[in-house]
Amino acid sequence: MNRPGPVRAGGVLFCLALLAPVPAAGAQPRQRLPENPQNAAQAQKPVLLSIALADGAVTADIADCPLHDVLVELAARTGVIFEVRSEPNPLVSVHLRAVPLPEAVGRIVPEGNIVFIHDEADPGRIALVRILPRDGAAVQPGLLYFGTGRVTASGRSTGAPAP
């Protein structure tokens, strides 16, 4: 009987392995995965963000909009600077009709501790709003500041999906 020995069979397997197709490095485009699954889910939902300010009262229609986007829009219309943690960024849904700014912020962020800091030159004007988490979470995410301290938008926002 003529059987191949162990060395000969191993050599055949080695040669077959060399002939197997190997994908070229970089030939396949890399798929980008979302960094945060919650943010990916937020981006897929239809968003309503419409805010107007008249005589110091806020009127707003907000549905399924990330909190940070709401604060950016509110900062542009009020001239208030908002200080908030980078995480979490929950979805906000609220409808306001001619509500004073402090109450509007409290209804937009019902789960936070809110500190209003007034302008020294004009004590009736809110200059900075700090939004802190209610739970004493040990994790310390970064701080974000929204707003310039000046009104940068006027009229009613378009209501288009937020970026």
| Residue ranges, the chain, pLDDT below 70 | 1-45, 136-141, 155-163
Question: What is residue 9's three-state secondary structure?
Answer: helix
pLDDT of residue 30: 47
- Global confidence as pTM: 0.64
pLDDT of residue 123: 87
The gap between the terminal CA atoms of the chain, to the nearest Å, is 76
The gap from C-alpha 154 to its chain's centroid, in whole angstroms, comes to 24
